[in-house]
Structure 1
Amino acid sequence: MTTLTIQDVSRQSGLSEPTLRYYEEVGLLGPIARDERSGHRRYGEGDLDAAQVLACLRAMGVGIEDMRTYQANRRRGHAAAGEQRDILLRHTERVEEQIATLRIHLDYLRVKAALWDARERSDADAEAQAQTELHSILPLLEETFR
């Protein structure tokens, strides 16, 4: 059986060592085996797999409680497929909302850059067009701040 150190799992999962310890403490990982002589954590391949899943969920903004449910459902297998799907779809909706907000921010930045570019070139027509576009974006932008 392959055993990995906390440094190995940290490097391969992208989770810091303190995060790995915390995830074990709150029941997201483990229990992790310990070396009998040194007491150091020794992770198996299944532990590494779980840490990699948690790293992905964390990167997508999934909270601890949903991570806990997701991990428990992984152990349940097919019987929990519907609940797994629902967790992921709920977070999909949140990410889609974030993408829509970022698109508005991106549009604003591009229009403002075009406005300043037009001013630098003394292009009154392009400046007027950018001002018009800016006025259509501002209400959407203001909504993202609420």
Structure 2
Amino acid sequence: MTTTASALTIHDASRRSGLSEPTLRYYEQVGLIGPIARDPHSGHRRYGETDLDTIQALACLRAMGVGIDDMRTYQANRARGRAAAGEQRDLLLRHAERVQREIATLEVHLDYLRSKAELWNTRDLADAAAEAEAHRAVEAILPRLQEVL
């Protein structure tokens, strides 16, 4: 819990982290952050710099598709420090591999879309020879597309 004079409101923490106010409340509720200090007069949450550092790390993980359970593990490992370095590395590498697979899938999707666009371009130009070649290019991508669907 942080109680500094420069504490941020939930609105400020949301704006700086990119996470919505309901998400910040939820993350506190499920124990990913906090407990967050409260203003003694209003009872409103007040986020300190340490809280914001944690929130920003969680925002990055969320943006990369890391789920709540792995965020919990990440936070627990962070608290354990060097003793959990291997576990932390493995968790992050597991997600890096997932992202790499997603990138490969998106590359196939991109190739397919570009090939289909070229096929339609040749039809627009009424170039039968180019259309036949573009059609072959699309057909060549279909097996790769089926693999990632």
TM-score bucket (shorter structure)? over 0.9
Structure 1 consecutive aligned stretches of length 4 or more whose deviation exceeds 4 Å = none
Match of 2:116 in 1: 112
- Give me the CA root mean square deviation: 0.8
SS of 1:4's equivalent? coil
- The residue number in structure 1 matching 2:46 is 42
Correspondence 1:9 to 2:13: yes
Q: Which blocks of at least 5 consecutive residues in structure 2 are unaligned?
A: none
Identity rate, percent: 70
Given the alignment, which residue of 23, 26, 40 partners 2:27? 23
Q: Residues of 1 paired with 2:26 and 2:43: CA distance? A: 17
Q: CA deviation at 1:78?
A: 1.3
Confirm whether residue 137 of structure 1 aligns to residue 141 of structure 2.
yes
TM, length-normalised to structure 2: 0.94
More divergent stretch after superposition (119-128 vs 59-68): 119-128
Corresponding residue number in structure 2 for 1:32:
36
Number of equivalent positions: 145
> Which stretch has the larger CA shift, 9-18 or 74-83?
74-83
Which residue of structure 2 aligns with residue 69 of structure 1? Answer: 73
- Segments of structure 1 that go 5 or more residues without pairing to the other structure are none
TM-aligned CA deviation for residue 75 of structure 1: 1.3
Please report the TM-score for the alignment, with normalisation by the length of structure 1.
Answer: 0.96
**SS in structure 2 opposite 1:39?**
coil
| Distance of 1:8 and 1:81 partners within structure 2 | 32
